Every structure is written in C-alpha cells, then in structure tokens.
Copies of this chain bind each other. A is one copy, B any other.
Amino acid sequence: MKIGILGGLTPQATIEYYKLIISQYHNKIDSAVFPEMVIESVDVSKVHHLTMGKKFQQLIQYLSESMNNLMKAGSDVILIASNTPHLFYEDITRNVGVPVISIVDVTYNEVMKSKKNRIGLLGTIPTMQSDLYKKPFINTEIQIFVPEITQQDFLQEKIFKQFSRGIFIEDDITAVGNMIHQLKSKYNINGLILGCTELPIFLEQDDWDDITLFNTAAIHVDSLIRFLKKAHI
C-alpha cells in the first residue's frame, strides 16, 4: 500500500509526519520495511494568501490538483498533513478514488473516547474561527473554546512567519503556554486540540497535568497505521 501525503503545509509538519509514519510503521507493522510514500509539497505561502484573501475557488483548485497528482503517483490512501485545508475536505476529495483519512474525524473520535468535555482549540485563524472543529461536536455534551481575537492574531502570525519556517523562539513558546493557561482559567478546559500540526513540535503532554492534549498529527498518523494494519490482514 502506498501512502500519499498532501504536504508542505507546512514543511516542518510534513517532516514530522514523514518521520512519524516510518517510526510507527516500524513499531506496529514491520520493522524491516520502509513504507512507500509520495509527498506533494505545495507552496504554503500561496495557500496562506489564497486563504486570507478568501479566494476559495482558486485554493480548492490548487489543492485538488495536488490530490490528483497523488492519485497519478499511485497513492492507495491519502493524508492531508494539515488541519486548515480540511475546511475544504469535501471539495478536494470529491474525485479522489481512494480513502482520504480526515484529521477532524479521527480527532473527534479521540476526544469522544477521552470523556473530556471542555476542549480548547489552537490553530490558524480559519481553523479557530470556522466550524471545522465545532460542527462534529454540535449534538454532543462537548464544548469547544478558542482564545481571544488578539491572541488568535498573534498565533496566526507566529504559525506563518516563524513555526512554518522551523523557528521556535522561547518567548513565543511561553506566549502559547500563557494562552493555554488563560483558556484553563477562563473556561476551565480539561482538553486541548492542537489544531495545527506545528504545535506538537513544542507542546508536550508532560507539561500539562490537568489538560489532555490532542495531538492531531499523531492521532492522524495512528489512524493511518490502523488502516494499513487492517489492509494487511
């Protein structure tokens, strides 16, 4: 089975996915084999500009072309290695003939299993302001909380100008930590969705006793591994 990755969103997160897929494959399926993959690495600046300029038709076309390239290169299952593009999941997967594992669906499942009910959400502005992570929980007991607008702007800026280039400054890490503390004191969250695949690079469960972190990238890869395991049998 060949794994297709829609990547570049950002390159840092793509590298994390690539390493994680290989190590999880070795741990849980076969340590003697390196899974075959094809990675489409798109221009994250272009995606960012199209998103912020609300040029959604152009964006959908751009991402659909990449999905199509992943198909042409023989993908049997595809992951979109980023949360934000999942806003257009329906549109960009419509003509894809193989399973595309949704990061939102599998994160939803993990949150439901956890029994946590007051969930913070960090990510890009489109991820935090849209109903991407709110819709799945709409008929459940679970509530989703996001930071204040000024903090959202700060996080968006950091994700695109720093984290996406692999730049993680101590001050920024502290600021993101403070955001989480504030979500805790204001909304009493007991869970937190790391809704941007850069965040787990510097946020670790060990540093947060009373908040369960949902590492969307790791959950995504875990579900890929389960999918591959099933397909192997």
- Contact B43 A34, beta carbon cutoff 8 Å: yes
- Contact A22 B33, beta carbon cutoff 8 Å: no
Q: Is A41 part of the contact surface with B, judged by Cβ < 8 Å? A: yes
Fill in one digit per residue for A1-39: 1 if any B CB lies within 8 Å of its CB, else 0: 000000010010011001100100000000011111111
- Contact A41 B18, beta carbon cutoff 8 Å: yes
Chain B: minimal CB distance from A59 (Å): 15
| Alpha-carbon distance A1/B67, docked complex (angstroms) | 18
- Contact A37 B18, beta carbon cutoff 8 Å: no
- Chain B residues with CB below 8 A from A200, complex form: none
Which residue of chain B has its CB nearest to the CB of A35?
B43
Judged by DSSP, the binding face of A is: mixed
- Contact B38 A40, beta carbon cutoff 8 Å: yes
Stretch at the interface among A69-77, A144-152, A201-209, A218-226: A69-77
Chain B: minimal CB distance from A76 (Å): 13
Chain B: minimal CB distance from A162 (Å): 14
Q: Assuming A15-B15, A69-B74, is B38 touching A34 (CB within 8 A)? A: no
Q: Is A45 part of the contact surface with B, judged by Cβ < 8 Å? A: yes
- Contact A36 B45, beta carbon cutoff 8 Å: no
Closest 7 pairs (CB-CB, A-B): A69-B73, A72-B72, A37-B41, A39-B39, A34-B43, A73-B73, A34-B44
What are some 13 contacts across the A-B interface (CB < 8 A)? A11-B18, A11-B34, A15-B19, A33-B45, A35-B43, A36-B43, A37-B40, A38-B38, A38-B40, A38-B41, A39-B41, A69-B73, A70-B73
Q: Is A125 part of the contact surface with B, judged by Cβ < 8 Å? A: no
| Alpha-carbon distance A211/B55, docked complex (angstroms) | 54
- Chain B residues with CB below 8 A from A70, complex form: 73
Partner of A8, one of B37, B40, B73, B74: B37
Q: Assuming A22-B11, A73-B73, is B42 touching A36 (CB within 8 A)? A: yes
| Alpha-carbon distance A35/B7, docked complex (angstroms) | 12
| Alpha-carbon distance A166/B20, docked complex (angstroms) | 12
- Chain B residues with CB below 8 A from A72, complex form: 69, 72-73
Chain B: minimal CB distance from A152 (Å): 23
- Chain B residues with CB below 8 A from A15, complex form: 15, 18-19
